[in-house]
Amino acid sequence: MPVLEKGLVLRHIQVSRDMYELEFIAPGIAQDCKPGQFVHIRSALENNPLLRRPLSLYDVDKKLGSITLLYKVVGKGTNLLSRIRPKEYVDAMGPLGRGFSLLAPRKTALLIGGGVGIAPLVYLARVLQCQGCNVKVIHGVENRLELVALPRLRDIGVEFLPATMDGSAGFKGLVTDLVLKKVSPNEIDFIYCCGPEPMMAKVSDFARDNNIAAEISLEEYMACGVGACLGCARKMKSSDDEYKKICKDGPVFNIDEVEF
């Protein structure tokens, strides 16, 4: 059941040119959070802009009751959010949406993130690692300064393979080329992916071609965030008669449900 909370901001830091990490206290939301779900955040307490912005759970500390978000400043809402300081409050609603399925212990999960699409995969990596899965994370970015999740992933203790377009760290080139060249499909039990749609389309093809089960997290413009307004409705396949609500039926979908 989603909860509305005014969350006290503990930490708010700039982690790259246009990306921020925001940690706030919201025990009512945190206690029910699952990887892949999101919170709907109102950027400014004075209701300007009025609509909330959906942001994935980047990390959750259930003992402390805190939620950490990783977001990129792209427009008015995220710009206003970036000005909130520690000891101020964010207006949060959550947890919302359908999250990732969790793999059984001792199985191997490959998590593939493109850009800020790494956000929902970090909390997933933490939970999978905790329950005894073997976790490999691939993150594709423009340059090494955008590998913002690296310290957290190191702390969690998962295997990490970066891909940078300029070659400043790890594999040089597209994250999907790294997957094709360096991943042995027979070692992977499940793929989780979040990033730009062309990237997720290629990852879905890779998963299907190699018979690996996979889930992706989709993004769509959202208004209510709880399935009431149809603002995020999308036909998943051209042959479908019905529309799915990304906020409620997703944002996580099995690759068999989606046609790019």
Measured between alpha carbons, how far is 2 from 229 in angstroms, rounded to an integer?
16
Cα 244 to its chain centre, rounded Å, is: 19
CA dihedral of residues 248, 249, 252, 253 (deg, nearest 10): -170
* 68 part of the interface to ligand FAD, by CB under 6 A: no
Nearest to 169 by CA among 138, 126, 199, 203: 138
Minimum distance from residue 161 beta carbon to ligand FAD (Å): 21
Minimum distance from residue 246 beta carbon to ligand FES (Å): 6
Task: Give the one residue of 22, 24, 42, 56 binding ligand FAD; rule: CB under 6 A.
Answer: 56
The residues in 231-260 that bind ligand FES, with binding defined as CB under 6 A, are 231-232, 245, 247
Calculate the alpha carbon distances from 213 to 13, 103, 204, 238, 239 in Å. Answer: 36, 10, 9, 22, 22
Query: Which window, 9-17, 143-151, 218-226, 234-242, contacts ligand FES (CB under 6 A)?
Result: 218-226
Task: Give the one residue of 38, 100, 190, 206 binding ligand FAD; rule: CB under 6 A.
Answer: 38
Residues in contact with ligand FES by CB under 6 A are: 222-225, 227-232, 245, 247
Residues in contact with ligand FAD by CB under 6 A are: 38, 53-56, 70-72, 74-78, 116, 119, 219-222, 251
